[in-house]
Structure 1
Amino acid sequence: MDLFSVRNRRVLVTGATRGIGFALADGFAAAGAEVMLTARGEAGLEDALQTLRERYPEAILHRMTMDVSDTNEVRRAMLEAVAIMGGIDTLINNAGQNIRKKAMDVLEQDWDAVVDTNLRGAFFVAQAAGRVMIEQGGGSIVNIASVGGQVALRTGVAYAAAKAGLLHMTRVLAVEWATRNVRVNAIGPWYFRTPLTEKLLDDRDYLAEILACTPMKRVGDVRELVGPALFLASDAASYVTGQTLMVDGGMSVYGF
């Protein structure tokens, strides 16, 4: 259906070399969008780009380094992206990291590293993309948040605080930019098997604990995030803004 189409949309994905970011870049490329892959590492970007070019020979794909924790780098990269693509219709604001420690063990540098990427960096990327979208007449921002920003978990306080901030940032930007035709929404994943979670999920006891509070009794496949992202980027969501779509197998509403 054309309502759900993102064909020829100009999409920028941060943290696009692996895990959720790569899956979403793959999904948008498969759907006919023009995709700009960004990440900190040049080597990983080239590998991701070549993989997608082999899968989708007709797709228009680009790559560009960008460290979201460096605001000057973000501004430079956005100017470059606009010069290459002519604009940005959708931002997939995905770049993030986690340092899993109990609260008493968190160091100042741990806190800064996580918050600078997951919240501060996400804001300045959204701000730069928002400027582009307002000038061109509209666009859609999809922030990749987390169930951990809404539900209190036992470890990862810096990550949880950053993701909670990201959820409310999503609401505030949605309200501020609503009359400028820029929609801002978020996706809240639970556990998906990615390079960052593989070791945790390979621990049988840990996996059993995760599944015990997940009504669907399984972890997610990153491809299951593609549909929600395509929806939020498409005209099917033209009256949807300031919302967080939880993609969590029911975990966030489970009453135990």
Structure 2
Amino acid sequence: MELIKELFNLTDKVAIVTGASKGIGREIALALAKCGADVALIARGEKELIEVSKEIEELGRKSLVVPLDLMNIEEIDEKVELIQKHFGKIDILINNAGLNIAKPALEVTEEDWDLVLDINLKSVFFISKAVGKHMIPNKQGKIINMSSQMAFVGFYKRAAYSSSKGGITQMTKALSIEWAEHNVNVNAIAPTFIKTPMTESMFEEEGFQEEVLNRIPLKRLGKVEDILGAVIYLASPSSNLVTGHTLVVDGGWTAW
């Protein structure tokens, strides 16, 4: 039992979570804290981050609120330096922030495309690069990118989104190869549709939930808790020999 506890122990690790103000990002930040990590919280909404920070400190862990628009690439380095100076190290990076503009391909504008790719792919690369500069000299680190089952399968109104998530899965492999010699593990998680307050309206579309469930062999939507186990596994010592991998959490969708 002691060995199992140690394999999933994150005590005194320092984690960064992007998109941490609400939804899945908030729950990831709290889960990391419950496993012993101190957490730097990144999102645009400072007020919401402060609320998450209070919850983390109530758990007995340290936190740092870092307001940042990930579209501002020049500011990423500055904020990562701030986190490094505050905690003295960075052990874990969770690239959770992302968005989708659900439109048929023929209606996708250049602005739509750029926004989805900039947030979902470009910003992930540049914050990984900024954090990698600190992990590599320390000869250790865990980077976890949020991909999607849409990196592996097609679906309606997901042309830009699928392209961005396919890019995440391939970028994860590329970085894992470059940084393996420095003991920096780079992996990704590819969830199916997760029902959260932010995605609720999607499931109100007639026939949408039924179609999704028909494609999932386990016959249920994803829950936030389904993601948390994958995050803790990839962030912890239990995954030390895992790198370049995308862990699909999809109820069997991509097994068809």
In the other structure, the counterpart of 1:170 is 172
Larger mean Cα displacement after TM superposition, 6-15 or 64-73? 64-73
Work out whether residues 18 and 195 of structure 1, in 8 Å CA contact, stay in contact via their aligned partners in 2. no
Residue among 199, 205, 208 paired with 1:206: 208
> Which AA in structure 2 matches 1:241?
T
| Candidates 81, 84, 97, aligned match of 2:83 | 81
Alignment of 1:209-220 (within 5 A): 209-220=211-222
1:239 aligned residue: 241
User: TM-score, normalization: structure 2?
Assistant: 0.95
Q: Residue 141 of structure 2 aligns with which residue?
A: 139
The structural deviation recorded for 1:53 is 3.5
In the other structure, the counterpart of 2:50 is 46
Is this contact kept in 1: 2:169–2:246, CA < 8 A?
yes
Query: Aligned to 2:109, which of 107, 110, 115?
Result: 107
Q: Structure 2 regions of 5+ residues with no counterpart?
A: none
SS class of match (1:245)? strand
Give 1:52 deviation, angstroms: 3.5
Match of 1:92 in 2: 94
Between the aligned partners of 1:237 and 1:41, the Cα distance in structure 2 is 32
Give the secondary-structure state (helix, strand or coil) at the position aligned to 1:62.
Answer: strand
Unaligned runs of 5+ in 1: none
Q: 1:127 — aligned with what?
A: 129
For residues 93-118 of structure 1, what are the alpha-carbon distances to aligned partners after superposition, in whole Å with 9 as ceiling and x for unaligned?
11111111000000111011110000
Tell whether the 8 Å contact from 2:9 to 2:35 is kept in structure 1 after alignment.
yes
Work out which of the residue numbers 61, 65, 68 in structure 1 matches 2:67: 65
Asked whether 1:13 is paired with 2:17, we answer yes
Structure-2 separation of matches of 1:60 and 1:52: 7
Aligned residue in 1 for 2:181? 179
Q: CA separation in 1, counterparts of 2:56 and 2:62?
A: 10
Matches within 5 A, 1:217-228: 217-228=219-230
Looking at structure 2, the residues matched to 9 and 77 of structure 1 have their Cα atoms a distance apart, in angstroms, of 18
Looking at structure 1, the residues matched to 199 and 240 of structure 2 have their Cα atoms a distance apart, in angstroms, of: 33
Q: Distance in 1 between matches of 2:47 and 2:110?
A: 30
Distance in 1 between residues matched to 2:84 and 2:134, nearest whole Å: 8
**C-alpha RMSD over aligned residues:** 1.2
- Residues 92-144 of structure 1 show CA distances to partners (whole Å, capped at 9, x for unaligned) of 01111111100000011101111000000010011111111002221010001
Deviation at 1:204, TM superposition (A): 5.3
Paired position in structure 2 for 1:37: 41
Give structure 1 regions of 4+ aligned residues with deviation exceeding 6 angstroms. Answer: none
